[in-house]
Amino acid sequence: MTDAARLQWAQAMVVTGIVLYVPANVLPVMTMTVVGTVEPLTVLGGVEELYHSGLWPMAAVVFLASIVVPFLKLASLSWILLMHGSPLAQRQRGTLRRIVHSIGSWSMVDVFLLAILAAVGQLGALAGVKAEPGGLFFAAVLVCSLLAAEFYKPRMIWQTSSEPTR
Amino acid sequence: MSEPENENSDHGEIVLRPRLRISWAWLFPVLAALAAGWLFWSDWKSQGPQVEIEFATAPGIEPGKTNLVYRGVVAGTVKSVRLDDKLQRVVVSVRLKAFAADLAREGTLFWIDQPVIGLGRTSGIESLIQGNSLKARMGEGPPALHFTGSEVVPLSQIEEPGLILTLRSVDVPFLDRGSPVYYRGVIIGAVRGKTLDTNRKPVLSIMIEKQFADLVRGNSRFWSLPAAAVKLGAGTVQIELGGLKALLLGAVTMDCFGEPGTPAKDGDEFLLSANEFAARTGGEAIHITFDEGFGLRPGITELRYLGVPVGLVESVAADISTGKVETTVRLAAGYESLRGEGAAFTLVRPRVSLEGISGIETLIAGIFIDCAPGDASRPADRFVGSNSIEAQTREQGLTVTLHAKEIPTIDKGAPVLLRGIVVGTVTEKSFGENNEPSLTLMIRKEFARTLASNAKFWRVPATSIEAGPGVLNVEVSALQSLWKGGVAFDVFGAPGDPAGEGARFELFASERIARAGSPPIRIEFPNGQGLLAGQTQLRYLGIPVGIVEDVRPVEGKVLVTARLDAGYDLLRRKGSAFSLVRPKISLQGVSGLETLVSGVYIECTPGAQGPLVDRFRGASPQELEEEADGRAGFQIVVQSASTSIGINAPVLYRGVQVGKVVRKVLAADGTSAGLIACIDLPYAPLLRENTKFWDVSGVRASLGLFAIKIQTGPLKSLAYGGIEFATPPDMGPRIKTGHVFKLNAEPRKEWLSWTPEISLSPSK
């Protein structure tokens, strides 16, 4: 795969991630049924719920991990890709990309959590957790950002448009 | 040829312009965008209009969570809950789903489904777990977006009720919201609620389900079904229990009697009757006037025909101006023909009469109005009712009047008996001519011919006791006559012509008097002790032949009016003797013992074949006896200086009593006592001029050398003393009445050995 193709893939992944980011946050990621109360939860709704129930550190963690971090990842990747070929801030871009890449391996924690909840949280009629399309979108966002970081090799930061692309 | 090619290649380097190759990777964002877009679009598409519903309170309604449920399906979601400007109402905004957009139309009913646990119905249990939800029932109006929610859970949640009706009633004690409405056992609706109208009258609103709406007709009748009913009838006790639901909530029952009428419309008003019978009798109203209305109860008192309830008293009102009670009675369908002109209405109460105890059921069930139909071809609606059974039968019999000096114990309604059969009743008791009490009798038509013009009437006493030696006959008349007494009649002898209407009869005090149809006789007695009018009998040879009718003192004597039975005219002849028989216990014997029980009676002795008279002098038995003695024997006087011999002391001849001492007198000069003895006629020849008398009173003991001899006369002489006499063989001439003898204290020995032969003349 040529670098140009890689670049295009990375760009496509980031765009896809951005597109999917919206439904991932708008649609409920899961439905929690507690004693008959059916409660569809979006990620943001979950954070709000945690905050309102007084667990603000948890809320902060979830907010960071599930909303801020994916957003920052997409934003960082977008910036890196936009700056492709530019000689500016190549060093910073390399660092940023490395960070994004490294935290990428932890980004699926939310999805794992959701999967475990949906699997374990089946208490018959009393309570139940069901994964909703939002979770799928959320996971897709994470996968997209992972792939984008993967497609965009670090050396490509250092390629400038004046140099041959080989 | 390759050279030039190479040369050609020297022309320059072929710069391969990097072609703008679009990677397949760009398919992903497009697909993602499409997917997200489709999701949002479908979400948007599934949303219907947003409606606002106002509630007074909205407990448990949470935006984003509470769903609108229609027919069990989530048809929308609450988006926001807010209060209105004045903080008076809660406005709930609901985003309907697209498929439920039709709910947004006028008439749709929204309510908050809350758990309702009640006696009658339990609903919204699921909301206990799931939280409250909004529910809706679709209306049929034009589209609308603003609604006012219902504060109560409607009774029919699925669809609108077919009919909403109003029931009016005097009171609706048991019924409440949710009480079922039955039609022949099938629940066709329910009570929506009860309230008071502007006139403060209870009004019941009921709804009939759509599928049953056509059952309700204009002439349908509604009545409340009591939770439990106890019916008491003759011999039966019937306890009816409705369904458990009806038991808890009461129920309304609907039915149509007769031809179904036009279908009822929404909002029609009906009358709620107290019971099925009242509902059935919703027909024609008739007005009956009664003299008094004790026990008449509107809605309860029934009109009966042949014992079958055919109507119900609707209202009872006293009319002050006329002093009567006006009742309005509604006839049951099918009995309109009873309201013909001339129909008779009678108030029936429990009564105890000789005819039996009637109307006893009214003790329990209350009184009722009995009716006899009139001329069906001429219907009327105003009648005059009567208050007693007699009135009903008055025109159906023969009316006669009785008069007597006094009429105790007999009252209105008392029975008239003929040989123990009730043939009529006393209908009136009042004063007739000459201020004499009189009774008006009604003899039933079928017995009228038994009343001959020579019939005799008498009062029936409650009890009569007839006693004789060895016989005690206590006769208790029919229990009913204890209540009111009674009148009996019979014909003695050959019946005469049947009595006509209005005939007058005399009422005798007792059967005996009535039987003793002859003119009365009057007997004077010096002492009337024990004589009872109407009870003391006249007996001839021990057989009752008459009865004392009246006893009253007149000028120091007792005048007894008595009647002799027919056929005893021989006792009415001059010379007949009448004496009072009282119990007498003496050494001679016990007599008249039966009078201890039966009371005194008058013994009659027929006189010679004299003329018929009606005045007699009565005597006590002693006098009579004396009289008889005076007549039958003859008297002698036995003189003694002093004697302990008493009256009734026997006069003995050879130990045989031939007479007795009847009187004891003092000689005119006071020197001696004289015993007047009466000697029975047959023994008169025994007495001669030289006859010796001696005293045999007491015990005579003669003490001899070897024996003690104790002599006594007859036992009787121990008490009274006694006189014995002997006549010597050379007897003198016979004596005359009033001959005086001397009484010796002891007989001489030779007297005792006198044994003259004297031929006893036959008595008389």
Phi, psi of B100 (to 5 degrees): -105, 15
Which contiguous run of DSSP H or E holds residue B74? strand B73-83
* B29 with A27: Cβ contact below 8 A: no
* B36 with A140: Cβ contact below 8 A: no
A124 touching B (Cβ < 8 Å): no
Residue with the bigger pLDDT between B171 and B207: it is B207
Q: What is the pLDDT of residue B412?
A: 74
What average pLDDT does the segment B219-240 reach?
68
User: Can you tell me whether residue B499 is helix, strand or coil?
Assistant: coil
What is the distance in angstroms between the Cα of B196 and the nearest Cα belonging to chain A?
41
* B36 with A19: Cβ contact below 8 A: yes
Range name among A112-116, B173-177, B362-366 with the lowest pLDDT average: B362-366
Q: Is residue A79 situated within a structural domain?
A: yes
Q: What is the pLDDT of residue B462?
A: 58
Distance CA B276, CA B253 (A): 8
- Reply yes or no on whether the pLDDT at B701 is more than 70: no
pLDDT digits (tens, 9 = 90+) for B277-335: 777 776 667 888 888 777 777 777 888 887 787 888 878 888 888 888 888 888 877 77
Residue B652 CA from chain centroid, whole number: 72
Percent of all residues in chain B with a pLDDT value above 70, rounded to a whole number: 76
> Which of B18, B36, B129 shows the shortest C-beta gap to A36?
B129
Q: Which residue of B has its CA nearest to A24?
A: B36
Distance CA B349, CA B364 (A): 11
Q: Measured between beta carbons, which residues in chain A are less than 8 angstroms from residue B23?
A: 5, 8-9, 12
pLDDT-derived band of residue B394, with 50, 70 and 90 as boundaries? very low
Q: What is the pLDDT of residue B162?
A: 75
Residues 6+ apart with CB under 8 A from B401: B432, B438, B439, B440, B441, B502, B503, B504, B505
* B28 with A22: Cβ contact below 8 A: no
- Reply yes or no on whether the pLDDT at B652 is more than 50: yes
Token pair 């031929």: residue: B759
A94 touching B (Cβ < 8 Å): no
Q: Which residue of B has its CA nearest to A37?
A: B130
Q: What angle do CA B160, B270, B380 make, to 5 degrees?
A: 155
DSSP summary character for residue B360: T
Q: Measured between beta carbons, which residues in chain B are less than 8 angstroms from residue A163?
A: none
Output the domain CATH number for residue A46. 1.20.140
Distance CA B757, CA B749 (A): 19
> Which of A16, A38, A133 shows the shortest C-beta gap to B28?
A16
Percent of all residues in chain B with a pLDDT value above 90, rounded to a whole number: 0
What average pLDDT does the segment B139-160 reach?
80
What average pLDDT does the segment B209-238 reach?
73
Q: Measured between beta carbons, which residues in chain B are less than 8 angstroms from residue A12?
A: 23, 25-29
Q: Give me the residues paired with residue B168 across strands.
A: B203, B271
pLDDT-derived band of residue B270, with 50, 70 and 90 as boundaries? confident
Q: What is the pLDDT of residue B764?
A: 38
Best of B22, B39, B95, B132 to disrupt the A interface (most A CBs within 10 Å) is: B39
Q: Is residue A75 situated within a structural domain?
A: yes
What average pLDDT does the segment B219-233 reach?
71
Q: Which residue of B has its CA nearest to A141?
A: B32
Q: What is the pLDDT of residue B763?
A: 42
Q: What is the pLDDT of residue A166?
A: 43
* B65 with A39: Cβ contact below 8 A: yes
Q: Is residue A82 situated within a structural domain?
A: yes
Distance CA B351, CA A18 (A): 104
Q: Measured between beta carbons, which residues in chain B are less than 8 angstroms from residue A4?
A: 18, 21
* B130 with A16: Cβ contact below 8 A: no
A16 touching B (Cβ < 8 Å): yes
**CB of B661 within 8 A of CB of B676?**
yes
A37 touching B (Cβ < 8 Å): yes
A139 touching B (Cβ < 8 Å): no
Q: What is the pLDDT of residue B130?
A: 67
Q: Which residue of B has its CA nearest to A12?
A: B26
pLDDT digits (tens, 9 = 90+) for B430-467: 777 777 788 888 887 777 777 877 788 887 765 655 55
Half-sphere exposure of B177 (CA within 13 A, CB side): 12
Q: Inter-axis angle of helices A3-26 and A43-52, to 10 degrees?
A: 50
Q: What is the pLDDT of residue B392?
A: 45
Range name among B49-58, B450-459, B714-723 with the lowest pLDDT average: B714-723
Mean confidence (pLDDT) of chain B: 76
Q: Measured between beta carbons, which residues in chain A are less than 8 angstroms from residue B126?
A: 36
Q: What is the pLDDT of residue B710?
A: 67
Q: What is the pLDDT of residue B229?
A: 64
Q: What is the pLDDT of residue B260?
A: 76
3-state secondary structure chain A: CCHHHHHHHHHHHHHHHHHHHHHHHHCCCEEEEECCEEEEECHHHHHHHHHHCCCHHHHHHHHHHHHHHHHHHHHHHHHHHHCCECCCCHHHHHHHHHHHHHHHCCCCHHHHHHHHHHHHCEECCCEEEEECHHHHHHHHHHHHHHHHHHHCCCHHHHCECCCCCC
Q: Where are the domains of chain B?
A: 43-148, 163-278, 281-391, 397-514, 529-611+618-626, 633-753
A78 touching B (Cβ < 8 Å): no
A5 touching B (Cβ < 8 Å): yes
Q: What is the pLDDT of residue B75?
A: 86
In terms of phi and psi (left: phi > 0; alpha: psi -120 to 50; beta: otherwise), the region of A88 is beta
Q: What is the pLDDT of residue B391?
A: 42
User: Can you tell me whether residue B78 is helix, strand or coil?
Assistant: strand
Q: Measured between beta carbons, which residues in chain B are less than 8 angstroms from residue A13?
A: 25, 28
Distance CA B21, CA B23 (A): 6
What average pLDDT does the segment B26-47 reach?
85
* B25 with A13: Cβ contact below 8 A: yes
Residue A8: which domain range?
A: 3-158
Distance CA A58, CA A7 (A): 37
Instruction: Locate B653 and state its tokens.
Output: 């001849």
Instruction: Locate B193 and state its tokens.
Output: 């609620």
> Which of B22, B36, B130 shows the shortest C-beta gap to A22?
B36
- The radius of gyration of chain B's CA atoms, rounded to the nearest angstrom, is 57
What is the distance in angstroms between the Cα of A13 and the nearest Cα belonging to chain B?
7
Q: What is the pLDDT of residue B442?
A: 80
- Reply yes or no on whether the pLDDT at B721 is more than 70: yes
Q: Inter-axis angle of helices A90-104 and A133-151, to 10 degrees?
A: 140
User: What pTM was computed for the model?
Assistant: 0.44
> Which of B18, B27, B130 shows the shortest C-beta gap to A37?
B130
- Reply yes or no on whether the pLDDT at B393 is more than 50: no
A85 touching B (Cβ < 8 Å): no
Q: Measured between beta carbons, which residues in chain A are less than 8 angstroms from residue B65?
A: 37-39
Q: What is the pLDDT of residue B449?
A: 77
Give DSSP secondary structure letters for B550-587.
Answer: EEEEETTEEEEEEEEPTT-GGGGBTT-EEEEE--EEET
Instruction: Locate B48 and state its tokens.
Output: 């219907």
A136 touching B (Cβ < 8 Å): no
Q: Which residue of A has its CA nearest to B60?
A: A37
Q: What is the pLDDT of residue B373?
A: 77
Q: How many CB pairs under 8 A join A and B?
A: 59
What average pLDDT does the segment B611-634 reach?
64
Best of B16, B20, B23, B38 to disrupt the A interface (most A CBs within 10 Å) is: B23
> Which of B18, B23, B32 shows the shortest C-beta gap to A19?
B32
A36 touching B (Cβ < 8 Å): yes
Q: Measured between beta carbons, which residues in chain A are less than 8 angstroms from residue B39?
A: 23, 27, 133
- Reply yes or no on whether the pLDDT at B600 is more than 80: no
Q: Whose CA is closest to B211, among B227, B232, B187?
A: B187
What average pLDDT does the segment B201-209 reach?
85
User: Can you tell me whether residue B88 is helix, strand or coil?
Assistant: coil
* A140 with B32: Cβ contact below 8 A: yes
Q: Measured between beta carbons, which residues in chain B are less than 8 angstroms from residue A145?
A: none
Residue with the bigger pLDDT between B378 and B716: it is B378
Q: What is the pLDDT of residue B3?
A: 47
Q: Is residue A165 situated within a structural domain?
A: no
> Which of B21, B39, B131 shows the shortest C-beta gap to A23?
B39
Range name among B25-29, B173-177, B619-623 with the lowest pLDDT average: B619-623
Q: Measured between beta carbons, which residues in chain A are less than 8 angstroms from residue B131?
A: 36-37
Distance CA A23, CA A2 (A): 32
Q: What is the pLDDT of residue B388?
A: 60
What is the distance in angstroms between the Cα of A11 and the nearest Cα belonging to chain B?
8
* A27 with B39: Cβ contact below 8 A: yes
Distance CA B723, CA B662 (A): 12
What average pLDDT does the segment B68-80 reach?
86
Q: Is residue A166 situated within a structural domain?
A: no
**Residues of B at the A interface, defined by Cβ within 8 angstroms:** 18, 21-23, 25-29, 31-33, 35-36, 39-40, 65, 126, 129-131
Which contiguous run of DSSP H or E holds residue B636? strand B634-640
What average pLDDT does the segment B251-259 reach?
79
> Which of A4, A5, A16 shows the shortest C-beta gap to B29?
A16
What is the distance in angstroms between the Cα of B55 and the nearest Cα belonging to chain A?
22
Q: What is the pLDDT of residue B246?
A: 67
pLDDT-derived band of residue B625, with 50, 70 and 90 as boundaries? low
Range name among B154-163, B242-251, B349-358, B557-566 with the lowest pLDDT average: B349-358
What is the distance in angstroms between the Cα of B91 and the nearest Cα belonging to chain A?
22
Half-sphere exposure of B621 (CA within 13 A, CB side): 12
Q: What is the pLDDT of residue B1?
A: 44
A25 touching B (Cβ < 8 Å): no
- Stretches in chain A below the pLDDT threshold 70: 35-37, 124-125, 161-166
Residue with the bigger pLDDT between A76 and B373: it is A76
